[in-house]
Amino acid sequence: MANGDSAGRREDTGHLEYVVRGSHRSLVPSLPDSCRDSDSTRMVPDGVVVVPLSRHEPHLETPARLAADLGWPLLLLCSRGNQAQPARRLVTAMWPDVVVTAADLLHRDLLHSPDSWLTDEHPAARRRLDVDTNRKRNLGLAAARMTGRSWVLFVDDDLLRLDSPTVLCALHHLPGSGRTVASWACDDYPDNSVVHHARRDVLGLDQDVFIGAGAMLVALDGWDPPGFPPTYNEDWLFLAEPITRGQVVAGPEVGQERYDPYELPARARDEEFGDVLGEGLYHLLHIGADLDVATGARYWGSVHAKRTKLIQRIIAELRRRLAVVAVESEHTWLTSALTAVDESRKELTRATPESLADFVRRWRHDEELWAEYLGKLPPRETLKEALVYLGLHESWIVGPGR
């Protein structure tokens, strides 16, 4: 397995050689510390806090507190066992002054476009149709744009330690800076894919955490923000083009609730295609290559080969430890990790270079379609009215609105 920050090129073919990295932090500059000292009495522009609920027991204190401090409405998009009415009551019981709109996503027939979204029909997207995080984020962007908001603050339902001074710092810094997105990486507890958890836990290699939509502020004025495609690492794909244009800035690390990455083998299976996709695309950002390189299967051959070697190393080390371990609790942990990473290995056989290139081509098409779609959205007075236009039935939405 190759490591380091420089990419090799085979001089005989000019082929781009993928490099496995433990960090992507160098791609994005940091917010200046001085902006936390900026005048907190300055007018806060109008925005909305969007939470895509997915956890069995969602943690809503952080987004509700931010909505209260900023004076922004809170939009809760619910599925996977979460329901709009209880989620809204949970927030309003503790923060009665927060204006809360909550909606149940009871079908997938949303965000209608005159043309077809090609990524939705990719086999990797169809295998994870029940994972709807990208749809929720796209609904949040579209509803905010339709209601004339200037900002969207995405906050996941397991996020900890993102406070209003930190967000205000970004709100005061971004305008006039040429940047349109600020994000905060979840460093405690580190939010990595299963394979990259194992890269750290099993192989002992340095493994950083990159920014994402778990805590992300997006400006809506002056540009058309990208969409979130139907894949794991949908936020990395959202950020890819803005990073190349120098529009993204990283804030200080935040936290999230702990979880066992190896507890559910299906997690590793559902992540694998998007994890390979994201890592491969971000290698191109590191070396300054055009993302269109990734529309060809030739590039992905190198990515697939290095990913295969990484997973093989992890599995070999887990098996070696299992052969000599004497402590039952450690044996249980090693077995769980091996089962999960083996699911990644199986799924990787489907993430062929041809399939990865095909997804990128579909994604690039859909990005053009998304920009056109955003530009034609009609104005609506309330978030509820916007969500109804975007495909939700009004009976699934609770909160203010006609």
pLDDT one digit per residue (tens) for the chain, 402 residues:
333 333 333 333 245 899 999 999 999 999 997 766 655 557 788 999 999 999 988 999 999 999 999 999 999 999 989 999 999 999 999 999 999 999 999 999 999 998 999 999 999 999 999 899 999 999 999 999 999 999 999 999 999 999 999 999 999 999 989 999 999 999 889 999 999 999 999 999 999 999 999 999 999 999 999 999 999 999 999 999 999 999 999 999 999 999 999 999 999 999 999 999 999 999 999 999 999 999 999 999 999 999 999 999 999 999 999 999 989 999 999 999 999 999 999 999 999 999 999 999 999 999 999 999 999 999 999 999 999 999 999 999 999 855
pLDDT confidence of residue 378: 98
Judged by DSSP in three states, 104 sits in: strand
254 touches 183 (CB < 8 A): no
For residue 50, tell me if it sits in a domain: yes
What pLDDT does 40 receive?
Answer: 57
Contact 133, 52 (CB under 8 A): yes
Given a contact cutoff of 8 angstroms between Cβ atoms, the answer to whether 29 and 313 are in contact is no
In a domain, 3, yes or no: no
Query: Within a domain: residue 381?
Result: yes
Under 8 Å between Cβ of 284 and 290: yes
> Is position 212 within any domain?
yes
- CA gap 390, 39 in Å, rounded: 38
Work out the burial of residue 6: count CB atoms within 10 Å of its CB; fewer than 13 is exposed, 13-18 middle, 19 or more buried.
Answer: exposed
Establish if 358 belongs to a structural domain: yes
Residue 370 lies in a domain: yes
pLDDT score, position 7: 38
Are 102 and 49 contacting, i.e. CB atoms less than 8 angstroms apart? no
**Alpha-carbon distance 250 to 280, whole Å?**
21
Structural domain includes residue 399: no
Q: One-letter amino acid identity for 350?
A: R
| Domain of 354, in residue numbers | 8-17+29-393
Q: At what angle do helices 297-324 and 265-287 cross, to 10 degrees?
A: 130
CA gap 373, 116 in Å, rounded: 11
Q: pTM of the full predicted structure?
A: 0.93
Euclidean distance between CA atoms 212 and 206, whole angstroms? 19
CATH number at residue 264: 3.90.550
Sheet harboring 159-160: ordered strands across? 159-160, 254-256, 186-188
Count of domains observed in the chain? 1
Residue 111 domain-assigned (yes or no): yes
**Gap between the Cα atoms of 358 and 340, Å rounded:** 26
Give the pLDDT confidence score for residue 13 in this predicted structure: 29
